[in-house]
Amino acid sequence: MAPASTLRSRIALASILGLASFALTTSDANAYSVKKTTKGELVHWEVDRVAFTIDPSVEANVATAEEATKVAMQSWSGTVGAPDIQVAKLDASSPTAPTFDRKNGVFFMPGGYEPAGRALAITVLTYDNASGKILDADVVFNGAYAFEVLPHEGTTKTTKGAALVGDVVEHDEHDAGDLSLVYDLHHVVAHELGHSLGMNDEMGVHDALMYRYTAPNDPSIREPADDDITGLSELYANNAPADANGCGSATVAPKNPSRSASNVAMVATLGLLLFLVLRAKSDRRARAAFVLAAAAGCVALMPNLSGKGVARASETSGALSLGHARAHVSSTSTVIEKGLFKTTFELATVSCRTNLCPKAGHGVTWGGTVGNITQEVGGYYAPATGADVDVSFKKLPNAFDPIARPLAGRAGADTTQIAEVKVITAAR
């Protein structure tokens, strides 16, 4: 049997490692997400400078919006090898609408913008599907909502009326944001500029700039957080200066340490404490003190499991509804209407997740691919022929039909109908 002192040291070791393991396993399941082509290539700019025209409609509808947009551009500009984002001067050749014209713009659509759906704004991103090279990016504000450049101080934040700032389209039902409330334009444009660089919506980390929701009257998040910068580094790390340290040429310091950063610090701290515990074999009180210190270090450094940085189960991508059915896309056709891609598709139901599903479906979605050119319009998913997808139908077959049909002298349930698809997403 091992001596008592050795046994206590082993218990201390097990306790410390157990706490460290627990903290590590509670880290974010939903970290940053970046855009990729159907071939797995990163969607990114291959230039050092990207210029956006700020359409007059932006300042005409929201006072000081142009200045806020410029500041938002600076917050991303040159970070971890990403291109510098600058403002292009208005002239006769400036773009006047979101379209694939290889000219980038920021626009405000008073009264609303159909492709935006319930989102506060969207980004129309066009890229080469073979290489991932971005060719065009347009940011569009949905004028159905009220925007202001909110002051940092004196603004009362409320969780009522939280709206989709991101481009996510999902099967779960969410109400549109409260149209009577005001949303911070600075935050929204900074978020959309992240999309223009190749970032997807963040599904779980609430304090990330790329988080998919924003609350009204909330100007608190206007710059990339560490989760955002880590994602951007995946896209542009190869472009960062060779002498860059840490986050490369990052121009923005994270406001809050991420869980991954906290975990690294915690493990380092516990490693030091463990070393000291094992060294202090001659002093029982020292061993006990170091064990207590290690536990305190765990509590202090462990990520906050109850705060806003933790996603509720219903808000993680893994917990999002998968829709009524899994389906297989049998055909697609993409056309270009006024510079926006639009894809018509037909599909066959493979497996049903509800009582009854149509045998087949059809629909139209924004975005798509023409030749090697792919366009993403907000968060709409445009499938390719042969893709497996999750779908929600606008109307399901009558659940009482199996009873009603025999009574009417007809055999079997009518599941041969073709229904219109309400929501389509990539199979998860």
Which residue shows structure tokens 């077959």? 397
Residue 34, strand partner residues? 199
For 226-235, 306-315, 377-386, 409-418, which range has the lowest pLDDT when averaged over its residues? 306-315
126-161 tens-digit pLDDT: 999 999 999 999 999 999 999 999 997 655 555 555
Q: How confident is the model at residue 312 (pLDDT cuts 50, 70, 90)?
A: very low
User: Average pLDDT of 228-244?
Assistant: 80
The DSSP H or E segment spanning 369 is strand 368-370
- Can you give the pLDDT at residue 243? 47
Kindly report the pTM of this predicted structure.
0.73
127 three-class SS:
strand
Q: CATH second-level architecture of 49-239?
A: 3-Layer(aba) Sandwich (3.40)
247-269 tens-digit pLDDT: 322 223 333 344 444 454 455 55
Rounded distance between C-alpha atoms, residue 242 and residue 238, angstroms: 9
Helices (H) and strands (E) in the chain, counts: 8, 16
The encoded tokens of residue 156 equal: 């009362």
Closest CA to 263 of 25, 5, 423: 25
For residue 65, the number of C-alpha atoms closer than 13 Å in the C-beta half-sphere is: 23
DSSP secondary structure string, 135-191? EEEEEEEEETSEEE---SSS----STT-EE-S----SS--PPP-TTSEEEHHHHHHH
Q: What is the DSSP letter of 397?
A: P
Closest CA to 255 of 308, 298, 203, 214: 308
60 three-class SS:
helix
Q: Pick 315 or 186 by higher pLDDT.
A: 186
In Å, what is the CA distance from 192 to each residue of 153, 187, 260, 390? Answer: 24, 9, 25, 26
Rounded distance between C-alpha atoms, residue 376 and residue 126, angstroms: 6
53-108 tens-digit pLDDT: 999 999 999 999 999 999 999 999 999 999 999 999 999 999 999 999 999 999 99
Tell me the chain's radius of gyration from C-alpha atoms.
26
Rounded distance between C-alpha atoms, residue 56 and residue 196, angstroms: 20
User: Average pLDDT of 343-352?
Assistant: 97
- Reading phi first (left if > 0) and then psi (alpha if -120 to 50, else beta), residue 412 is in left
Which residue shows structure tokens 């929204």? 188
pLDDT at residue 425 tops 60: yes
Phi, psi of 129 (to 5 degrees): -70, -20
Q: How confident is the model at residue 279 (pLDDT cuts 50, 70, 90)?
A: low
For 29-43, 162-176, 231-245, which range has the lowest pLDDT when averaged over its residues? 162-176
CA 249 to chain centroid: 23
Which residue shows structure tokens 């500009």? 77
Which residue shows structure tokens 């913008």? 113
